[in-house]
Structure 1
Amino acid sequence: MAMTTTRDRNVDLTPGAPDHTRPGPARRLARHRVSLWHLFLVPFSLVWIYPFVWVVSSAFKSQREMLLGGISVLPQEVTLDNFTRAWQVANFGAYTMNTVVFSAAVVVVVVFVSATAGYALGRGQMPGKRIVVGVLLATMFIPHGYTIIPVFKLVDALGLNNGLIGAVLAAAGPAHVVQILLFMGYFAGLPQELEDAARIDGAGYVRIFWQVMLPLAKPIIGTVTLFTFISAWNAFMVPLVFTLGRPDLRTLGVGMYSFFGQYTADWTGLAAAACISLLPIVTVFLLLQRTFVEGIAGAVKS
């Protein structure tokens, strides 16, 4: 015996009866509006991504074709000499390793400091909590250039100038307010029952942080890691100041200037160098994009 579902019984099979399974006029009109908006926004998207596509294509052009080829993005003759020149002649191989070490160290320090500070401010009743948060927010409006001189004097007094360690401390030492606020908001939104259950099991304040709260903050850790990595990878002022006496310790951001001479500039080599420095950022973003979205959503929801 054939079985009929509730959906089958609700469909009127009478000839000439209206088909309720088809979208109505209002829904079709809404779909057409969305399609029209997409067609309207496509040209703006192309204009937005054109400079990036042009730089990538210029990395495979000759100097003459880049300067005289106009706005064309398709190279007439593909060449890899620009990448070879950027990697070997401009010493971008060593600069890349320096940037990896510098960025990884900055990420580790910033994540550790931001997580501990965010936990202290987000959980419990720390004396002067509002004052500390207010001071942190106020520091967001101080330009970075105003603090580079005292930071330089401090690092130089420690004997760490002209080295990556000093550059790491200078980049990771100042308060990273956004990262702290992200951890603070996430930790403040976690249930109090988790902390109470850990205390019943005999865990102290530090153990609760390391074994209970920090493992739950993986989305925020991924978000802060991505923010900090991009900032450290593209850093210019701090690596420049703290490696003036050691050109071999320059990072990619500082090494870009090796393509500029007194009277000329190697634009195709600069485009190839930009592509080299961009690849790790794109790779890290693709790996952490889901964690990044979850972390932002969790911090905002908290």
Structure 2
Amino acid sequence: MVFVGLLVLAGLWIYPFIWLVSASLKSSSEIFGRGLNLFPEDPVWENYSQAWTEVGFDRYFLNSVLITGGTVLLIVIRSALAGYVLGRFDFIGKKPLIAVFLITFFLPEGYTIIPITQLTDQLGLLNTHLGVILGLGAGGQIASTLLYAGYFRQLPKELEECARLDGAGHFRIFFQVMFPLAWPITATVTILTFLFAWNTYLLPLVFTLSEPGLRTLAVGMTVFVGEYDTDWSGMAAAAVISLLPVIAVFVVLQRKFVDSIAGAVKQ
């Protein structure tokens, strides 16, 4: 009975994605005329080619890959370093610093977009990939930092002591000893950051207003919305394209993600 209930819940959870794939193979009129039918009468594969080449999603896809990859790398390194310091060292002002981090965690993105835009503009990086990466990855990232801090805190001190006896300094201990051990947390932070950077809309929109060629997939979705009409089938095809990398990343890293959650529960 429990299995049947879980199967029903799984079906309800996956139905929107199946419907999206079905809608991407229909014409706009068929979506509204036979919307609940998951099997298109005559699959329109041209929706994908139109979204990929004619609308420019090949360029948007590359932009998303570059920006998301850079953001993930920046946030993982920054969060791991900050988490290592917070988890392994005691210093004056540690608790107030964590309090400030927690305050920034509750600030909506809309409150910070103006100063981030002004600062990026002053650095001459407003309409560049690097500017978007820094805008997305240079925040507090308190959730990722605390994940690393909690993991590093519970590692035995003997690991560092042995490394110091071999003449290793702080950075060598971190990159060669501590950071490789935090692979489950790194997988978790990678997945969460990837989802955030891949799907974020507001900051890439503001940073690429004058450079449409730098749009990401999330911003590029607006291409399908016209003044008097919306290409729903093309938008569905573009949405499927944008979801495929997310699914691939989660499939590759989901085991480590589950392991890190299980480890947190045990603690």
Give the shorter-chain TM-score range.
over 0.9
- Give CA deviations for 1:193-219 in whole Å, capped at 9, x if unaligned: 111111222222222111111111111
Partner in structure 1 of residue 72 of structure 2:
107
* Counterpart in the other structure of 1:221: 186
The equivalent residue for 2:124 is 159
How high is the sequence identity, in percent, across the aligned residues? Answer: 48
Deviation at 1:70?
Answer: 3.2
Which of 64, 81, 104 aligns to 1:139? It is: 104
CA shift in 2, pair 1:222/1:69, >3 Å: same
Query: What residue identity is the alignment partner of 2:211?
Result: R
Shift of 1:300: 4.6
Larger radius of gyration: 1
Aligned 8 A contact 1:186 1:298 in 2: no
Q: Which has the higher contact order (CA 8 A, sep 6+)?
A: 2
Structure 2 alignment gaps of length 5 or more: none
Question: What is the CA-CA distance between 1:299 and the residue it aligns to?
Answer: 4.1
Q: Hey, what does 1:293 align to over in structure 2?
A: 258
Distance, in Å, in 1 between the alignment partners of 2:77 and 2:259 is: 20
Q: Deviations over 1:239-268 (max 9, x none)?
A: 111111100010000000000000100000
Q: TM-score, normalised by structure 1?
A: 0.85
Distance 2:18 2:169 in 1: 54
2:55 maps to what in 1? 90
Q: Which amino acid aligns with 1:125?
A: D
On the 8 A contact 1:195/1:208 being kept in 2, the answer is: yes
User: What is the aligned partner in structure 2 of residue 248 from structure 1?
Assistant: 213
Q: Deviations over 1:141-194 (max 9, x none)?
A: 111110011111111111111111111110001111111011101100101111
CA drift of 1:301 comes to: 4.1
Supply the distance in 1 between the matched residues of 2:96 and 2:225 (Cα, whole angstroms): 47
1:93-138 CA-to-partner distances (Å, cap 9, x unmatched) read: 0000000000000011101100100000000212211111121112
TM-score norm. by structure 2 comes to 0.96
Distance across 2 between alignment mates of 1:40 and 1:171: 40
Distance 1:216 1:45, change over 3 A: closer
Counterpart residue identity of residue 63, structure 1: S
Verify the 8 A CA contact 1:82 1:268 in the aligned structure 2. Answer: yes
Matched residues in 1 for 2:181 and 2:77: separation? 15
After superposition, the C-alpha distances for 1:283-302 in whole angstroms (9 at most, x for unaligned) are 01100011111223334545
**Counterpart residue type for residue 136 of structure 1:** F
Q: Is the 8 A contact 1:182 1:299 kept in 2?
A: no
| Alignment counterpart, residue 170 of structure 2, candidates 205, 211, 218 | 205
Shift of 1:139: 1.6
1:228-239 counterparts in 2 under 5 A? 228-239=193-204
- Which one of 234, 249, 260 corresponds to residue 284 of structure 1? 249
Residues matched between the structures, number: 267
What is residue 193 of structure 1 aligned with on the other side?
Answer: 158
Q: Deviations over 1:62-95 (max 9, x none)?
A: 2221121131111111120110110112100000
- What is the Cα deviation at residue 224 of structure 1? 0.8
Between the aligned partners of 1:250 and 1:126, the Cα distance in structure 2 is 43
Unaligned runs of 5+ in 1: 1-35
